Amino acid sequence: MPEVQPIRKTVISPDLSKDAVLEDFRVALLSRQASLVGRKEVFMGKAKFGIFGDGKELAQIAMARAFQLGDFRSGYYRDQTFMMAIGELTVQQYFSQLYAHTNVEMEPASAGRLMNGHFATRSLNEDGSWKELTKMYNSAADISPTAAQMPKLLGLAFASKLFRENKGLKGFTDLSINGNEVAWGSIGNASTSEGIFFEAINAAGVMQVPMVISIWDDAYGISVPQEYHTTKGSISEALAGFERTDSQKGFEIIKVKGWDYEGLMQAFFNAGKIAREEHVPVLIHVDEMTQPQGHSTSGSHERYKSAERLKWEKEWDCIDKFREYILSSKIATPETLDKIEAQVKADVRKQKETAWQEFSKEIKVELQEAISLIKGAAEYSTRKVILTQMADELSRTINPIRKDVISTVRKALLALRFDSNETKNKLKSWYKEQTEKNHDRYNSHLYSESKWSVQNIEEVKPEYDEKSILVDGREVLQKYFDYTLEHNPKFFAFGEDVGKIGDVNQAFAGLQAKHGELRVSDTSIREATIVGQGIGTALRGLRPVAEIQYIDYLLYGLQMLSDDLACLQYRTKGGQKAPLIIRTRGHRLEGVWHSGSPMGMILSTLRGMVVCVPRDMTQAAGMYSTLLKSDEPAIVVECLNGYRLKEKLPSNLGEYNVPLGKPEVLREGKDITIVTYGSMCRIVLEAASELNELGIDVEVIDVQTLLPFDTYGVIGNSIKKTNRVIFADEDVPGGASAYMMQQVIEGQEVFRYLDSEPLTIAAKAHRPAYSSDGDYFSKPSLEDIVEKVYGVMNEVDPKSFPAL
Ligand SMILES: Cc1ncc(C[n+]2csc(CCOP(=O)(O)OP(=O)(O)O)c2C)c(N)n1
Ligand SMILES: [Mg+2]
């Protein structure tokens, strides 16, 4: 397969020799031709959707030239030319992604999971260990929401600052060489209207991190022109106040035209040098870009662009201008350029064909196998006619996909339901084999499949000795974090008020003074980019704990957690990981915005993350300990009302690990099981004592983690004994309590052991009203629990438990 020649330069000024310029011309054409052919493939029905990088080629060639080993990109769907120019994307791979080829060798970005134009390099070896990132060109895995590449870009850049300034990190040369790496971002002009763009720009200016953000400005966002998007119609003008001056830090802002080859080279090399050497953020506004084929295959731009604009775009096409530049500078003759063009066209055709052959080959084999097995089974079946018809129809499918094959097989098995013979068994076992393969293709790697999966971290119990005094809960955490800062140089924590005062509940109190500002730091108020700062640094091999001050404010950061972090392993099929830990606090305390327990929201949006709900700080410290030994992203929701409650200080802090996915039985009982977590554990235990007085023996189980959920079957075993169960929490009705019920009743098949209706206890559907009465009438109270349990027992034995 003809390879794209990677540009692997570490020079600091552009090489404008004849060979280099002609190679740039070749790669630009290669990318353009891939766009033109790609669109046709979609219209021929060979791919479902296409979005291409035509019109943006030249700037990306320049960016690729300034990009160095160890650098990271975080960009968007127009960046194919850049990826080709750094040698991380062949045309064949480009088409493999367009067709959704599930083979990771063919489509290394995502194994067919990401839509075309979503790029990624593989940072991990097959066993999930890190590759030597400083010897690679790196690209974070793209996501579709506009501007969502910005928060993690901040983190990718911030990591360089840490590697440069934190002496404890100097030894990790696989991850960074003295923080020399630049994080390069790209974004469309219209996407700069998003809030997270401005949030990231502001944070980068404040933090002075080596980030080069390029804006590909084609004056449109799908059909909507510039005047609807940007103040003054120009993002560089709108951002002028961020520009650095002789006396004030800020951004270097560079403006350049998308068709000006030499100007672009200069701009990107300057930007790279400033960011790399000075750790100053740079913004490059590349305007006068075009879209030769419009936005995507979803429509044509003739519908909304004026004839004048379309004419202008034709005249100012960056590749035509590049050609003019080469000719006028006498770098090559028209014949030489025509020859390159002819070669490129042939090359793209060939690589596209190979990609298609490779993609359809496997499916054709599966199709033939299915047809022959269905026909084989038909021979011995009373449903022969219909089965033969199914097989024949399948064989006539044009451009068959896997769904055609598998759905026919499933229909055939349904038709064969009364048959029992060897030919049917063969079809069944073939289907079973395919189901396993398809699970790997389409459903694997939601969680870590490496040896560092949380499921593989062994439990170590907390120990206590004569020195184990009673302390405030927050002190357990503080001593744990102190230990970890001492022993794990990659670990650091940041968030609003985390630095100087050691967080609003003081679990880091005194630790900035002891370990330095790079390890325990304050941030401005910006949840989305706090999350991004965590994702980016974790993508570069560090172990951040990013704090969201209250769970009620998680929503600002939730999109990044959901769209980027939670699905990272899945969407790269194990090619990247970002084991970021989000530390936050929630459940009951006070009022509408400091009492939230939106666990159902978290569970629905953050599949792919571990969700820990410790009942106290001893458990929380043990969970952090497990998480830092694993390679999975997680959120830990501490109990907002637990920092001042007394706990016994374990003597083996940092060593003990709470097993994740293993509920703990807090109280044994024989009449009914209550399953709960977090701040509710204490209330349920108090209710259990009261119920004991009434002659009801309650078993109380703390689930400890909602994801993973009871992988040990602890709750099912309890129900087998008590035959009754209530799921209690302080989320809204139908939230996490309903989730727990589904996991147990359906997941652990305990329905037949139940002698009473399974119930849930939850908070009211609204947020809690202010003050203690507000809490009492909004959140589940001790009386609510006692009465609910009593009601169950009344139904069982009304004589012993008469109605209240
Ligand atoms: C959050 C979000 N809203 C809407 C979309 C749909 N969408 C995809 S691309 C696009 C326009 C982006 O325009 P611009 O940033 O200028 O990039 P261009 O495509 O012009 O290069 C929109 C609205 C999206 N992907 N994400
Ligand atoms: Mg645009």
Ligand 1 neighbour 145 (Cβ under 6 A):
yes
Average pLDDT over the chain, rounded to an integer: 96
pLDDT tens per residue across span 238-276: 999 999 999 999 999 999 999 999 999 999 999 999 999
Ligand 1 neighbour 191 (Cβ under 6 A):
yes
Q: Which residue has its alpha carbon closest to ligand 1 atom 25?
A: 145
pLDDT tens per residue across span 478-510: 999 999 999 999 999 999 999 999 999 999 999
8 Å CB contact between 201 and 566: no
| pLDDT band with cut points at 50, 70 and 90 for residue 2 | very low
CA of 53 relative to ligand 1 center, distance in Å: 13
CA of 188 relative to ligand 2 center, distance in Å: 5
> For 26, what's the count of Cα atoms within 13 Å in the CB-facing half-sphere?
22
Q: Which residue has its alpha carbon closest to ligand 1 atom 21?
A: 188
Main-chain dihedrals φ then ψ at residue 431, nearest 5 degrees: -60, -40
Quick one: which of 446, 578, 532, 566 has its CA closest to 123?
A: 578
What's the mean pLDDT in 413-422?
97
Q: Which residue has its alpha carbon closest to ligand 1 atom 1?
A: 145
Cα(250)–Cα(164) distance, rounded to whole angstroms?
19
pLDDT tens per residue across span 732-764: 999 999 999 999 999 999 999 999 999 999 999
Counting from 1 in the atom list of ligand 1, the atom nearest the Cα of 218 is 20
What's the mean pLDDT in 608-624?
98
What's the mean pLDDT in 567-595?
95
Provide the pLDDT for residue 9. Answer: 43
3-state helix, strand, coil in the chain (%, to 5): 45, 10, 40
What's the mean pLDDT in 608-636?
98
Residue 5 has pLDDT above 80, yes or no: no
pLDDT tens per residue across span 427-463: 999 999 999 999 999 999 999 999 999 999 999 999 9
What's the mean pLDDT in 550-558?
97
| pLDDT band with cut points at 50, 70 and 90 for residue 724 | very high
pLDDT tens per residue across span 195-236: 999 999 999 999 999 999 999 999 999 999 999 999 999 999
Tell me the pTM: 0.97
pLDDT tens per residue across span 43-59: 999 999 999 999 999 99
The percentage of the chain sitting over the pLDDT mark of 90, rounded to a whole number, equals 97
Provide the terminal-to-terminal Cα distance of the chain, rounded to the nearest Å.
Answer: 80
| pLDDT band with cut points at 50, 70 and 90 for residue 12 | low
Residue 721 has pLDDT above 60, yes or no: yes
Cα(480)–Cα(474) distance, rounded to whole angstroms?
10
| pLDDT band with cut points at 50, 70 and 90 for residue 590 | confident
What's the mean pLDDT in 509-516?
98
Provide the pLDDT for residue 589. Answer: 86
Ligand 1 neighbour 660 (Cβ under 6 A):
no
What's the mean pLDDT in 707-720?
98
Ligand 1 neighbour 563 (Cβ under 6 A):
no
Six-digit token string for 31 = 């990318």
Provide the pLDDT for residue 299. Answer: 86
Provide the pLDDT for residue 10. Answer: 45
| Residue of 229, 587, 594, 766 marked active site | 594
Residue 118 among the catalytic residues = no
What's the mean pLDDT in 364-383?
97
Long-range contacts, 219-223 (Cβ 8 Å, 24+):
219/189, 219/287, 219/289, 219/309, 220/189, 220/190, 220/291, 220/295, 220/301, 220/305, 221/146, 221/188, 221/189, 221/190, 221/191, 221/193, 222/190, 222/295, 223/295, 223/299, 223/301, 223/303, 223/304
pLDDT tens per residue across span 77-107: 999 999 999 999 999 999 999 999 999 999 9
CA of 145 relative to ligand 1 center, distance in Å: 7
Main-chain dihedrals φ then ψ at residue 448, nearest 5 degrees: -60, 135
pLDDT tens per residue across span 682-701: 999 999 999 999 999 999 99
Cα(423)–Cα(427) distance, rounded to whole angstroms?
7
